[in-house]
Amino acid sequence: MGKVKVVSFDADGTLVTPDFSQAVWYEGVPALYARKHGTSLHKAKAFIEKEYQVVGDHRIEWYDIKYWLQRFGLGDCHKQLLEECRHRVSCYPEVAQALSSLGKDFTLIVVSCSTREFLPYLLDGMEKYFARVFSTVSDYGQIKSPGLFAEVCREMGVSPREMAHVGDLWEQDFLAAKEAGLMAFHLDRRGERKDGSSLRSLKELGKRLLEE
């Protein structure tokens, strides 16, 4: 196997906690809807969460804040909404040290389904660690797939065997990257898979990169 040169990270749920995204999608949007349409927050949440599930996370619309605000008749207020939730952004505790250490030996990038609207907030203070930041939805109009990872490898000028990816989604981050030929790591902070191969923390990534 070729020596890994590039290490790719998912963002939401991998580098930062889901708190910011949860605040935007499940608090901010329902609050706007309730005010605009004169309904209770409880009813607004129930309606909006049902609408999210109708679309589902395998369609790019799921990740597009502009799409949802338009669908719900809320206008173009995404910038204000994201700013109001900015204080909810929170990195996992080991992230800064892990990125600083890994950046000495590898080129670090981000490959995320989060849109360009979200990424400046999710990566606030971390931009210095990354050579490139890719939004699969904004840049390529797709979610993560083997073909998407192959395209990112081409963009970075490396073969799939020279790139590793880590993320918290089993299908999109682990299986898709693995099928593309990357060294793939599943980040399972809660220890739910019980198969012993997933990472519990990014602290483990450096050691695992050397072992593989």
d(CA 18, CA 86): 12
CA dihedral 104, 106, 111, 116 (to 10 degrees): 40
Q: Which two tokens stand for residue 34?
A: 């309730």
pLDDT in tens, 71-100: 999 998 999 999 999 999 999 999 999 999
Residue range(s) of every CATH 3.40.50.1000 domain in the chain:
6-17+90-211
CATH superfamily of 6-17+90-211: HAD superfamily/HAD-like (3.40.50.1000)
Whether residue 156 contacts residue 176, with contact meaning beta carbons closer than 8 Å, is answered with no
Whether residue 82 contacts residue 24, with contact meaning beta carbons closer than 8 Å, is answered with yes
Write down the residue that tokens 């605040």 correspond to. 23
- Residue 2 is predicted with a pLDDT of 57
Q: Which two tokens stand for residue 50?
A: 């049902």
- Residue 1 is predicted with a pLDDT of 42
- Burial of residue 84 (number of CB atoms within 10 Å: 0-12, 13-18, 19+): middle
> In the structure, what pLDDT confidence band is assigned to residue 170 with cuts at 50, 70 and 90?
very high
pTM given for the model = 0.94
> In the structure, what pLDDT confidence band is assigned to residue 192 with cuts at 50, 70 and 90?
confident
- Measured in degrees and rounded to the nearest 5, phi and psi for residue 186 equal -95, 130
d(CA 26, CA 99): 30
pLDDT above 90 (res 196): no
Share of the chain above pLDDT 90, in %: 92
In this prediction, residues 192-199 reach a mean pLDDT of 80
pLDDT in tens, 135-158: 999 999 999 999 999 999 999 999
